[in-house]
Structure 1
Amino acid sequence: MRRRLIQSTLAVVLVVIAVFGVSLVIVETRTISDSARERVESEAVRLASIVDSRLIVEEKVTAEFLRGQLAEDRYAVIRIPGQPPIEVGSKPDGDVISARAPGEEGETVTVQEPRSSVTREVGRTLLIIGLVALLAVIAAVLLALRQANRLASPLTDLAETAERLGSGDPRPRHRRYGVPELDRVADVLDASAERIARMLTAERRLAADASHQLRTPLTALSMRLEEITLTDDPDTVKEEATIALTQVERLTDVVERLLTNSRDPRTGSAVTFDLDDVIQQQLAEWRPAYRSAGRAIVSSGKRHLQAVGTPGAVAQVLAALIENSLMHGGGTVALRTRVTGNQVVVEVTDEGPGVPADLGSRIFERAISGHNSTGIGLAVARDLAEADGGRLEMLQAKPAVFGLFLSRTPPRKTGDDGGRETIR
């Protein structure tokens, strides 16, 4: 590209120099020739007037006297009636410029100048024009180099940015070049880089959330299937199979919710549901694991409470809290329900050492964990709680008490017909 820019600029300059330079040479040559002719004619008229003035006063006209009146490179012949011609200067060889002027006393004066003087003057003029043209070409080349670098370097830089985007490095560079068209391309590439970065972040977050949220239902399903393989009692097999089917339904709900949140994390499916059903489901799922660890899980508080949210999401939040207590807590885990204002609160607590002081304010941040776990369980749980208008908070650090706050009033949404409708 640099070469093409330089060649095109240089070609334009050469065309301009050729057009205007040739015209200037022609005009200057003609001007110099006309000027030389006018000088010779003027010289002839001047000598004729000098000769007239001497003849009028009857003074002798001699070559010695006229030699001081004539330029060195000129030749003059004065013809006076009744006298031999008077020659002044050296007669030039070759082509000459000649002018004749008559006098008032009948004399004639002829002045000649060699055309070589005009040729020398034309040559000097051509030299000056050539030097100016050369300087113009040099200036054009330098300007073309500057413009080529100004345009080619940003294009190379933009190509590198596009290559970085294609290789999976979506960091925007925020470079601008002072050329509106190139700056527009840079704006588009930076905006694309930011969109790609958000998409990659969302994909990584979806993968992490999926691995975490699918682990618990899969573990519970595996436990039920193991119970089925270890028993010959048809009633036990039927009971465990029923529970396993419930786990499959929950697993399906988790997958659907993950896909929905990946498309639009603000999408909620809140309904009014019986909180006791979700709590009892979690107790049934986690009792075998707690029995294996020599611990217990119980529930207490108000019964028959109605809450607003997505039952599957609420179950996932409680499962994350229960699993957190199983891994990091100690003693008996208690799920307590209570009512505060227009909200239902489910508290999950245990008898363990609680949350370390250095993690207290960051417990809900991703990748924050005190026991080499993934560190995304509580962060995902908070996102799930907030998706349907609830919230998850740490109410106490030692022993750890987490509270899930759910609304008792269904949220209002705007219907397609412009009215207000209540979700029930």
Structure 2
Amino acid sequence: MRRRLINSTLAVVLVVIAVFGGSLLIVETRTVSSSAQERVDTEAVRIASIIDSRLIGGEPVNPDILADQSGGRRYAIIRIPGRDPIEIGSRPGGSVIRGFAEGERGETVVVEEARSVVMTEVRRTLLIILAVALLCVVAAVLLAVRQANKLASPLTDLAETAERLGSGDPRPRHKRYGVPELDRVADVLDASAERIARMLTAERRLAADASHQLRTPLTALSMRLEEVAVADDLETVREEATIALTQVERLTDVVERLLTNSRDPRTGSAVAFDLDEVVKQQLEEWRPAYRSAGRAIVHSGKQGMRAVGTPGAVAQVLAALIENSLMHGGGTVALRTRVTGNQSVIEVTDEGPGVPVDLGARIFERAVSGRSSTGIGLAVARDLAEADGGRLELLQQHPPVFALFLSREVRSRTEPEPERPVR
């Protein structure tokens, strides 16, 4: 592209120089010739007038006097009636330019100048034109190179940007070139890079969320299948198989929920459900893991509450909180249900060291973890809670108290419900 721009610019400049330079040379040649002819004519008239004045005054007329008074340096021949011709200067050879004048006493004056003088002036003019043309060519080449670089370099940058996008590097360059068309292409590429970056981020987030959220149900399902494999009693096998099928359903719900959130994190399928059933399900699922760790998990608080949300999502949020307490907390883990205003609240607390002070405000951010965990669980739990119109908060750092707030479905009751005792 650079070569084409330089060649095209140089071709245009050469054509312009050829047209205007040739025209200028022709005009200048004619001007120099006319000027030379005018000079010899003027000198002939001047010599004739000098001769007339000397003849009228009776003064002598000779070559030396005429040469001094006329000041001419060209060849002149004067013919006066009744006298010999008088010559001034040296007669030029070759082609000449002649000027003629006739005096009042019948004398004639012929002035001659070599045409080579005119050609010398024409050649001088031609050299000037060629010098100017050469400067124009140099300037045109420099300008063409600059313009070619100005246009070709951005195209090279844009090609590199497109290649980076194709190789999976979606960082926008935010570089502009001062050329509207190229800047428009750069805008489109940067916008595409940002869209690709968002898509890649969403895909990576989905993969991370899926690996984290599916780990616990798969582990629980594996434990149930192991128990089925070693059980001898048919009734025990049926019971464990039923529980395993329930966990498979929950696993399916987790997958569907993750896919739904990957398309639109604000999309929810909130319904009124029995909160006790979800809490009971989580207690049964996590109690074996806590027994294996030598710890306990208990539940207390208000019973018979109905909340508005997605049961599967609420179960995932509680699972994330319970798992977080198992991994990072200590002692007994307590789930407490209560009512505040028009909301149902589930609190999860343990007897561990709590949340570090420097992580308190950032505990729900992705990749933020006080230990060697992924830092994804609480972030996913918060997104799930918000997708159903609820919220997940850290109420207290020491000891840690996490609270899930859900919209409450109020049912008329004749008397307050008793709180469930600690188990």
TM-score range, shorter chain: over 0.9
**Alignment size in residue pairs:** 410
SS at match of 1:68: helix
Q: Percent identity?
A: 80
Partner of 1:206: 206
Structure 2: which 5+ runs fail to align? Answer: 411-423
Partner of 2:237: 237
The Cα shift of 1:306 comes to 1.5
TM superposition score normalised by structure 1: 0.93
CA contact (8 A) 1:73 1:114 kept: no
Structure 1: distance between partners of 2:386 and 2:50:
117
Partner of 1:345: 345
Deviations 1:324-375 (A, max 9, x none): 1222222322211111011110011222232233332322222222332222
Deviations 1:287-318 (A, max 9, x none): 22222223322222111211111111100000
Matched, 1:180 2:218: no
Partner of 1:51: 51
TM superposition score normalised by structure 2: 0.93
Q: Tell which deviates more after alignment, 67-76 or 251-260.
A: 67-76
Structure 2: distance between partners of 1:50 and 1:372:
120
Code of the residue aligned with 1:113 in structure 2: it is: E
Code of the residue aligned with 1:188 in structure 2: it is: V
Partner of 1:255: 255
Code of the residue aligned with 1:225 in structure 2: it is: L
Code of the residue aligned with 1:22 in structure 2: it is: G
Partner of 2:29: 29
Matched, 1:389 2:396: no
Structure 2: distance between partners of 1:35 and 1:355:
104
Q: Tell which deviates more after alignment, 339-348 or 373-382.
A: 373-382
Code of the residue aligned with 1:308 in structure 2: it is: V
Partner of 1:310: 310
Q: How does 1:186-197 map to 2 (within 5 A)?
A: 186-197=186-197
Partner of 1:267: 267
SS at match of 2:133: helix
SS at match of 1:408: strand
Deviations 1:199-233 (A, max 9, x none): 11111111110001111111111111112111122
The Cα shift of 1:72 comes to 5.3
CA contact (8 A) 1:269 1:310 kept: yes
Q: Tell which deviates more after alignment, 104-113 or 146-155.
A: 146-155
The Cα shift of 1:13 comes to 0.8
The Cα shift of 1:173 comes to 1.8
The Cα shift of 1:163 comes to 2.2
Structure 1: which 5+ runs fail to align? Answer: 411-424
Deviations 1:111-144 (A, max 9, x none): 1111111111111111111111111111111111
Structure 2: distance between partners of 1:72 and 1:129:
31
SS at match of 1:87: strand
Q: Tell which deviates more after alignment, 57-66 or 318-327.
A: 57-66
Partner of 1:283: 283
Partner of 1:322: 322
Partner of 2:113: 113
State the Cα RMSD in Å: 1.7
The Cα shift of 1:154 comes to 2.1
Partner of 1:414: none
CA contact (8 A) 1:354 1:399 kept: yes
Deviations 1:77-107 (A, max 9, x none): 1111122211111111111001211212212
CA contact (8 A) 2:302 2:337 kept: yes
SS at match of 2:255: helix
CA contact (8 A) 2:321 2:348 kept: yes
Code of the residue aligned with 1:233 in structure 2: it is: D
SS at match of 1:106: coil
